Amino acid sequence: MRSDHRLLVVHAHPDDESEFGAGTVARYHAEGVRTVLVCCTDGGQGKVRNPDVGAVGVRAADVVEVRRRELEAGAAIIGFDRVVRLDFPDSGSVGLTDRPASCFARLPLDEVVRPVIEAIRLERPQVVMAYADDQRSYPHPDHLRAHEVALRAFEDAGNPEAHPELGPAWPPERLYYTVTSRERRKAINASYVKMGLAAPFSQQVGFQGRGDPDLAPGRERVTAVVDVKGYVGVWIAGLRAHACQMNPALDEVLGIPPSRAAELFAEEEFVLAPGGSGHEDPDSPASDLFAGI
């Protein structure tokens, strides 16, 4: 057990915690790592996708409350020890024009980064996990913003001159980007096609932005690969907790047998961001985000 290790994860919306890097979080939680989720937005632009829950394509009147409950359930299943909800207004999906100035993507960076710095200084994680610098395969404005916010918070949390009112400085050692490489997407696609199913990573973006392989970071950028074989069922259960956002009949991951999913999604990939310590050889990626800590 590794009770001295602490991981802080920055996500954009309720449901992202159960998808991106979720198997890794589940594994670390099980191994005794303290795991903290910072969820930046309230998910208030999310429309119902599941006909079992309500009218598809319609935003429920109490969408923020529904997604708050789903977030609590999903995060508990994944194994987050604490959830910090920032509740900035959801900026709405890719392609939307006319976003309000009060949404997460448009508020001043300095304003939205403050609570993340505060959470890092309070929780003192050695490792921070966030979205990558290259999100061309799913350029959701809140995900792009969450990357900027995590990067700035990672840099400023350890600087005693930056926002001294937010607590004593704490420099996390590493920032890791959660990715699914071009090569892994293609391999998973090929396995689906072999099963007679549609390729999940395509331009026809699926539920969680399982986007075009050619727009994803290449394997040559991956510096850590975490074995999550025993935890695939955990994050799939987390996804199911987001009932209003998941349509089990359409979702690619929920639509295959659990044992097959466990094989196909048995590893999660990460890119070490510049500016921290850590192992940086893509030819022999680290198997542990805390290696050497």
Which residues contact Zn ion by CB under 5 A?
A: 12-13, 16
DSSP state string for 123-192: H--SEEEEE-S--TTS--HHHHHHHHHHHHHHHHTT-TTS-GGG-S----SEEEEEE--HHHHHHHHHHH
Tell me the β-bridge partners of 129. Answer: 9, 176
CB of 11 to Zn ion, least distance (A): 7
Cβ 12 to Zn ion, closest distance in Å? 4
Q: Phi, psi at residue 272, to the nearest 5°?
A: -75, 125
Nearer to Zn ion, 143 or 182 (CB): 143
In whole angstroms, how close is the CB of 157 to Zn ion at the nearest point? Answer: 23
In the complex, what is the shortest distance from the CB of residue 16 to Zn ion, in angstroms, rounded to a whole number?
A: 4
CA-nearest of 267, 9, 284 to 127 is 9
CA–CA gap between residue 92 and residue 99 (Å, rounded)? 7
Nearer to Zn ion, 13 or 182 (CB): 13
215 three-class SS: helix
26 vs 146, which CB is nearer to Zn ion? 146
The residue sitting closest to Zn ion, measured at its beta carbon, is 13
Question: Minimum distance from CB of 106 to Zn ion (Å)?
Answer: 17
Written as six digits, the tokens of 208 are 């969680």
The residue among 11 and 221 lying less far from Zn ion, judged by its C-beta, is: 11
The minimum distance between CB 227 and Zn ion, in angstroms, equals 25
Q: Which is nearer to Zn ion, 89 or 285 (CB)?
A: 89
Q: How many CA atoms lie within 13 A of 232 on its CB side?
A: 17
Nearer to Zn ion, 166 or 246 (CB): 246
Task: Residue 117: name the closest of 6, 41, 275, 109 by CA.
Answer: 109
